[in-house]
Structure 1
Amino acid sequence: MILMWLVRIHSVSEAEEKKYLDSFSVISLVLAAYLMIIIILEHVFSFQFSVRVVAFILLILLLVLPLFVAIKAREKNSDIISERNHLVDESKLLARHGATGYRSLPGDPEGDNCLQNDEDVNLLQAACTVDFWILFLAMACGMGSGLATVNNMGQVGGSLGYASFETNTLISLWSIWNFLGRFGAGYVSDYFLHARGWARPLFMFITLAGMTIGHLVIASGLPGALYAGSVLVGVCYGSQWSLMPTIASEIFGVRHMGTIFNTITIASPVGSYIFSVRVVGYIYDREASGEGITCTGTHCFMLSFLIMASATFLGALAAFGLFLRTKCFYNRIVLRRLQHSMRERP
């Protein structure tokens, strides 16, 4: 916030900007793949000090690469920036990026039953809609159970006979699965929205269904199930954080999007508390009461993950209901607006 006064708004070519954004995305994916390989290799082999130094240097180089991309972009656009060194007034910015909500384009038929969003709604108006509470329920079920999973990963691994370094590896890899979910869900949902016109809540349904499968896999207690289940839950958990704010902005508009989305995110800690304390913690203590302080075996967490699988399945059904409710809205308003904005690009 202290450095915000350094920010300047410039008119640039979107094609050029997309090229640099794609470069940042590629670097992020390469960095995630590199970290994943290093973590897995450390789990298999014992690295010597020299190998660790080389791996660290390569990591630093990957972290510095985005700076070179930014410098290159700055140099290429220096002439344009010097000529347009003034702020774009708010009205032009809103007209360029269409930040006034999703309105019907000229030529849209009137008088049908499709959901329409003629203006941005505030928090109170949004809270009076069914869509708001569907998103709240889906977030409580999906993100709450995802947080409960990662918070109890160590105990789950210990009860299933995993060594401490194995559970530490799982927790480290969870961050990578989380990143891949956030990155992939945004890209995939955006592609299918533009190319096929698929409403974005459909992908929220798919990821919640995938999280349900992940919980069931972990509940099975089979050899390697914790690895496979954590991958599914981690990717789908990250996907929710990518899809939720975008869906909220598309349904309720962007003017009060921050307030509305942050209110919806209250569901995440609420769900995490319910699943972590009232479900996982309670059942673990009950199962461990006859064995001492710790619990060993699949029975320690099986019921907990079955309950969380049921909850995420409920969230998936809610997301599918939101998809059906907003399908017409996406086809008529959001998709047409995106196509209209693409035609207006320079």
Structure 2
Amino acid sequence: MILTEKTGGGSRREMKSFFLAVLSSRLFMVFATIIIMSVNGSGYMFGLYSNDIKTTLGYDQTTLNLLSFFKDLGGNLGILSGLIYEVVPPWVVLSMGSVLNFFGYFMIWLSVTSRTAKPQVWQMCLYMWIAANSQSFPNTGALVTCVKNFPGSRGCVLGLLKGFIGLSGAIMTQFLYIALGLAGFIMVMIILQNRLSFTRTEYIGSASVVLILLLLPLVIVIKEEFNVSTSKTQASNTHSQLNVVIENPPAVPAKPAEATKEAFNCIKKMFKPPDRGEDYTILQAIFSIDMLILFIATACGTGGALTVIDNLGQLGKSLGYPTHSISAFISLVSIWNFLGRVLAGYLSEIVLTKYNFPRPLMLTFVILLSCVGHLLIAFAVPNSLYFASVMTGFCLGAQLPLLCAIISELFGLKHYSTMYNVGSVSSPVGSYIFNVRVAGHLYDKEAVKQTEALGRTRKPGQDLNCSGAKCYRLAFLIITAATLFGSIVSLILVFRTRTFYKGDIYKKFKEEVVESQAGVAPTGHGGLSLREMEDNAIVTVPEKTALSDG
């Protein structure tokens, strides 16, 4: 009886220990990231409610596109969250994002539903910026943490995380299958909902299936943590011992003369960056030619794609698509955006490691491919908006993880949380140029022409609408030319980095793993935790000990 109680008590302790191990594991952190990222794409829903904002507040297309620009600016200008992440833990970053999200969208809701006085345009832009900027906080808190935990598989991590999940190795493939299954199920639901009329119960049923698929990765987390726990138990039974030596050399106080010299050479070092792949400072990365090329190329590539997404509501309305089709366009963009992120991350990682195929060249191909979607919109081919939504979503999704991975490879991981957000600024810049100054201006110009042709005049506060293929034709021909220019600029980066990508860009991280397997903590900035070193360490059992225990 006593033995049974002890055994039962031991089992309870083991279960408690296992439960705490699951909650504190890196894999559970990734599962939490899945949930966070799956609800962090509200910016892509702008096309669903943009017409309501336009009608209720009486905006013209230029003003509405200005509002969408501030949405893109807030969603991509995450430098503040990156700097905050440098000094506080991730949970603080996530909490700040939640507060900003609620405040921004709540104020927009109050304005559109006329529960407050009609706001000024600058106030709506501010609300939209705050609401969209809240997305950069979970992006930074989740993405940067995972990239630092899995530096050797950053392409896969970025591909899945920018889709909404991330992990590495063989476990990542299991997450990929679940993610693709979820995307496929949602795609089938979109088709059925456009063909059939769903009841409230059927909507609840389909939403429940999506929720189950979303929670399914938790099974993988528990399974892998159980395997780790079993391996440790077996190693413990052989009385093996793991010695992890962490060397912390004493800090050497800087002499006043050296500190003065360091400050004097700061500007000089800014323009003398280290070799590619080493850790750049923030200023060295910002003022580098490689970052400038990336900025121009992605501004052209993502700027045109964001223009399509932000104008889907008006595009569908001007070309005569029914309302439910506009909702389908936005869903298609979201699904193929996810698939573009996943496939670009995985495919670029595979061809890079096996064939040294440079990621900047893949970025060039993706930007070039997006020109096809823009041309379909420009010439208003029948049902072209369905295909354009797919291509735009895929190309935009593919560009983002490629951009993030290239930045981490060229400029290192030490200040990655800030440099990642610096690179993302290119998206709102491109959005402002193409969305506000080109598409919005030309749309309003054509709308005024149509209104005057009907003998009408627009009253102050009245929304301005345009119909027909001419509304966006010239705008998207200009965007196509600019996107083509962006792909040519990207080729310059391919030429500049060709030698770097011919080598082993992950050599530093492989050496750190070897050091950790030898029982010595790595000294680089690979971001490998002590727990990872313990899990990867090879335990050697002396033969003499094994025989004496037998």
The C-alpha deviation readout for 1:170-195, integer Å capped at 9, x for no partner, is: 01111111101110101011111112
Assess, with a 3 A threshold, how the Cα gap between structure 1 residues 53 and 117 changes in structure 2: closer, same or farther: closer
The residue that corresponds to 1:162 in the other structure is 321
Aligned pairs (5 A) from 1:106-117: 116-117=275-276
The answer to which of 248-257 and 331-340 deviates more is 331-340
- 2:362 aligned with 1:203, yes or no? yes
- 2:464 aligned with 1:297, yes or no? no
Structure 1 residue aligned with 2:477, among 303, 306, 310? 306
The residue identity in structure 2 corresponding to 1:205 is T
Specify the structure having the higher radius of gyration (Cα): 2
> In 2, are the aligned partners of 1:218 and 1:230 still within 8 Å (CA)?
no
The residue that corresponds to 2:494 in the other structure is 323
Aligned pairs (5 A) from 1:193-232: 193-232=352-391
> In 2, are the aligned partners of 1:122 and 1:260 still within 8 Å (CA)?
no
- 2:415 aligned with 1:244, yes or no? no
The C-alpha deviation readout for 1:107-138, integer Å capped at 9, x for no partner, is: xxxxxxxx943731112112332111011111
For 2:243 and 2:391, locate their aligned partners in 1 and report how far apart those are by CA, in whole Å.
47
- 2:211 aligned with 1:34, yes or no? no
Q: Which has the higher contact order (CA 8 A, sep 6+)?
A: 1
The residue that corresponds to 1:65 in the other structure is 216
SS of alignment partner, residue 291 of structure 1: helix
The residue that corresponds to 1:137 in the other structure is 296
For 1:234 and 1:171, locate their aligned partners in 2 and report how far apart those are by CA, in whole Å.
9
> In 2, are the aligned partners of 1:185 and 1:243 still within 8 Å (CA)?
yes
Assess, with a 3 A threshold, how the Cα gap between structure 1 residues 90 and 216 changes in structure 2: closer, same or farther: farther
Assess, with a 3 A threshold, how the Cα gap between structure 1 residues 118 and 39 changes in structure 2: closer, same or farther: closer
For 2:244 and 2:440, locate their aligned partners in 1 and report how far apart those are by CA, in whole Å.
54
| Aligned length in residues | 317
The residue that corresponds to 2:68 in the other structure is none
Structure 2 residue aligned with 1:277, among 429, 436, 441? 436
- Residue 18 of structure 1 and its aligned partner are, at CA, apart by 2.5
For 1:340 and 1:2, locate their aligned partners in 2 and report how far apart those are by CA, in whole Å.
31
- 2:172 aligned with 1:21, yes or no? yes
Assess, with a 3 A threshold, how the Cα gap between structure 1 residues 211 and 343 changes in structure 2: closer, same or farther: farther
For 1:244 and 1:118, locate their aligned partners in 2 and report how far apart those are by CA, in whole Å.
15
- Residue 252 of structure 1 and its aligned partner are, at CA, apart by 1.2
- Residue 35 of structure 1 and its aligned partner are, at CA, apart by 0.4
- Residue 203 of structure 1 and its aligned partner are, at CA, apart by 0.7
- Residue 339 of structure 1 and its aligned partner are, at CA, apart by 7.7
For 1:47 and 1:187, locate their aligned partners in 2 and report how far apart those are by CA, in whole Å.
36
SS of alignment partner, residue 220 of structure 2: helix
The residue that corresponds to 1:119 in the other structure is 278
Instruction: Provide structure 1 residue ranges, at least 5 long, that are not aligned to the other structure.
Output: 92-114
**TM-score, reference length from structure 2:** 0.53
Assess, with a 3 A threshold, how the Cα gap between structure 1 residues 222 and 87 changes in structure 2: closer, same or farther: farther
The residue that corresponds to 1:234 in the other structure is 393
The residue identity in structure 2 corresponding to 1:51 is E
Assess, with a 3 A threshold, how the Cα gap between structure 1 residues 139 and 78 changes in structure 2: closer, same or farther: same
For 2:357 and 2:170, locate their aligned partners in 1 and report how far apart those are by CA, in whole Å.
25
Query: Aligned residues: percent identity?
Result: 37
